[in-house]
Amino acid sequence: MRTKIWTALLALYVVWGSTYLAIRFAVETIPPFMSAGMRFLVSGLILLVGRRAAGDALPTRNQWKSLAVVGILLLLGGNGMVAFAEARIASGVVALIVGTVPLWLVGSIYSRSVDIPESTLVVTGGEMLMGAIALFITSGLTGEWHGFSLGAVTIRSWLGLAYLISFGSLIGFVSYGWLLHNAPVSLVATYAYVNPLVAVLLGALLAAEPLTGRILVASAIIIGSVIFINSGHRAGSVHAPHPEKPVTVDQSPAD
């Protein structure tokens, strides 16, 4: 189990760190809330259709309500605002700002205490679908649809969106959902500190984003935070009389 947990964590560190750059490419010619809505609509449908075909039950009415709360908080409040910000400032800077605000993890902790489906992938797909609906509504309310043309979207933006769907959502969110139910929240939360460092380095290497002394100092602080959090987690596991036990769910081998 420990190997699976760290494999999933590495996937979050690398894949979600790289999505900041992919988002930047996507929002170059696709409005931010619209691009995020496209991403999660496709990803959510793939997961739900795939799991339904594998025999999993779809969420009940009450479960859809719970998934809607998490989807709106995590995907509209988190990813939607990231896409909105990246249409205006460098991806590495956005990543550093997000890394200092792990508040969005509250929408994730909520999912551990409410009525949701047993299958992690059904949960993830449902949250994506609900988040996509909220993102499209926000896109319409902010006027993104006016004057938008699919013909004006560049190949780089389509490739960025494709990466976000395949890696950022289908691999990243699946790993994240699995970790929330199989690993301590304190350990899962470290992704918020590592992702910005990956994003800063990729932005500098692949998009010529500025790598200033201030950004390097911020990155060093982030690394120090990860070391501090992980050290505290290990110490608690050794000395605590009742070590933290993660919540687990029944999963099929395909999960």
Domain-embedded: residue 251: no
Amino acid identity at 27: V
Q: Are 59 and 122 in contact (CB under 8 A)?
A: yes
Give one DSSP letter per residue of 75-96, joined into a string: IIIIIIHHHHHHTTS-HHHHHH
Domain-embedded: residue 188: yes
pLDDT computed for residue 249 by the predictor: 34
Domain-embedded: residue 173: yes
Angle at 201 between CA 197 and CA 203, to 5 degrees: 115
Domain-embedded: residue 253: no
Domain-embedded: residue 255: no
Domain-embedded: residue 115: yes
Burial class (CB in 10 A: 0-12, 13-18, 19+), 91: buried
| Domains identified in the chain, total number | 1
Cα–Cα distance between 155 and 160 in angstroms, integer? 8
Distances (CA, A) of 72 to 4, 25, 30: 28, 23, 21
pLDDT computed for residue 253 by the predictor: 31
pLDDT computed for residue 109 by the predictor: 64
Q: One digit per residue, pLDDT tens: the chain, 255 residues?
A: 888 898 888 888 888 889 889 999 999 999 999 999 999 999 999 999 999 999 999 999 999 998 998 889 888 887 888 888 888 777 766 666 666 555 455 575 666 667 888 888 898 899 999 999 999 999 999 999 998 999 999 999 999 999 999 998 888 877 887 888 888 877 887 777 788 778 888 888 887 777 778 777 877 776 676 667 656 555 544 443 333 333 333 333 334
Domain-embedded: residue 245: no
Domain-embedded: residue 142: yes
Query: What range does the domain containing 50 cover?
Result: 2-239
pLDDT computed for residue 106 by the predictor: 58
